[in-house]
Homo-oligomer: A and B are copies of this chain.
Amino acid sequence: MGFDVYDTTLRDGAQQEGMNLSVADKLAIAPLLDELGVGYIEGGWPGAVPKDTEFFARAAKELELRHAVLAAFGATRKAGVVASQDPQVRALLDSGAPVVTLVAKSDIRHVERALRTDRVEGLAMIADTVAFLVSEGRRVFVDAEHFFDGYLFDPAFALDAARAAADAGAEAVVLCDTNGGMLPDQVTEIVGAVRDALGPDVRLGMHAHNDSGCAVANTIAAVNAGAEHIQGTVNGYGERTGNADLLTVVANLELKLGRHVLAGDGLTEASRIAHAISEHTNISPYGRQPYVGASAFAHKAGLHASAIKVDADLYQHIDPRLVGNDMRMLVSDMAGRASIELKGRELGFDLAGQSELLGRVTHRVKDAEAQGYTFDAADASFELLLREEVSGTRLSYFTVESWRSIVERHGSRGADTSSEATVKLTAGGERIVSTGEGNGPVNALDHALRQALLRVYPELEEFELIDFKVRILDNSLGTDAITRVLIETTDGETSWSTVGVGPNLIEASWEALTDSAVYGLLKAGVEPR
């Protein structure tokens, strides 16, 4: 057996304050976890959470995972009930997930005070539930909840609970620092003691929370003490201070301890995957996140600037490309040029040697990013900017005279709200006035713009808006803050993303909508009429 990398972003990570994942979000995140190369994806608690029941049902039909296996999370049977007749346990079976991870109480105080039962029944609940699920053909992991605190209070019961799980057929007993308060030395000592007590045939795992700021170190300590199964969440999402950040743990294991624990070479995509997942969770990425953060390899120019250029390896703990990240020099524009040259090449523009042009584009990109634009997620907008600098002009498919968007409601809460937009523009030599309705101001504007342009550019018929994201960039200013809108459009075959920024959300949306139309026409090879 290899080493288990078990992701619980969709279950324990979703406990984070402010996070609320829909089934669609989960279905979008799972393939990204698979791409990273984790072995197991815990999807939720079917039976207990209706959305999670739906997730497993849809995942079975819709997801095609290359590496990862889905795991359903659930609890051991209730006290005094037969496992096969406990509806919560049955729901785990019904989820169809090949792996079931059972949370089991291993701290006697929790057995007595929370479950209100005794140690004999507490152990039986573990053994019975594991045995039943195994007899039904499921692979079972057991999360020994509050293991470390429980072990410190009553080591005999904690070990009995672990033993009950292993003896009944659990593939791994995962020691959980549920309250997250352990320090690495304690983890080393306790995992070692458990290993000695249970013997080498019982596979141990580690599930850490970051309450003492040591979740990553505690996970590494457990691995060094013999654990062969690690649990964590992407970006360290989770309740309170979060879970162990799986990306950091895995990067430490692969790059520093020489243990190849991911399937494939997903680690080189870690930065992109981390950011893509944060788009789905809508939790702003944390710039200082180890390995994958935007600042993780950013150096403020000054003390060592010239030395870094000569000898980068002396100033960074790893090569950032190993995790799909980049070194950035924060003041100098040297780093920017290189990636813009690279991106240009990707889009079919050879900028090498065109130092003046490259400088101009870099300057515009930096300027725009300072205003809040982001081109990482808006390739189409970047290409329009690049084409403009290369050709010296902007393709003009239409000229906007004015637009207006009105939202109104008559009556109190619950009454219908109406949204209407009017666009006046010139295209194909014709002045067009078009009004659209929608269920919101941007939707109405989209309809009005599309209707206006369709007369001259019937190619637009194929285009469809498939994603609309809003991010408020500066939280300290209320509605005075800068808004960034990202729009994704498809023509049925490919899709493209555009960005708009401004203090006014509607204006930012308009910018992204018009860029999207222009880019789509350009891609379709349509000449301005």
Contacts and interface: CB of A to CB of B under 8 A. Distances in A.
A472 B479 contact: no
A28 interface: yes
A303 B105 CA distance: 12
A224 to B, nearest CB: 7
Total copies of the chain: 2
Interface residues of A, number: 142
Contacts of A183: 217, 220, 252, 256-257
Contacts of A289: 241
Nearest to A396: B412
A417 interface: yes
A407 B506 contact: yes
A296 B224 CA distance: 28
A109 interface: yes
Interface string A202-241: 0000000011111011101100100000000000101111
A401 B480 CA distance: 26
Contacts of A401: 410-411
Interface stretch (A167-175, A314-322, A348-356): A314-322
Contacts of A471: 282, 470
A318 B24 contact: no
A82 interface: no
A179 interface: yes
A501 to B, nearest CB: 11
B439 A317 contact: no
Contact of A221 (B114, B184, B506): B184
A444 to B, nearest CB: 9
- Minimum-distance CB pairs A-B, first 9: A181-B317, A217-B217, A465-B478, A404-B408, A443-B479, A114-B307, A213-B216, A213-B248, A440-B504
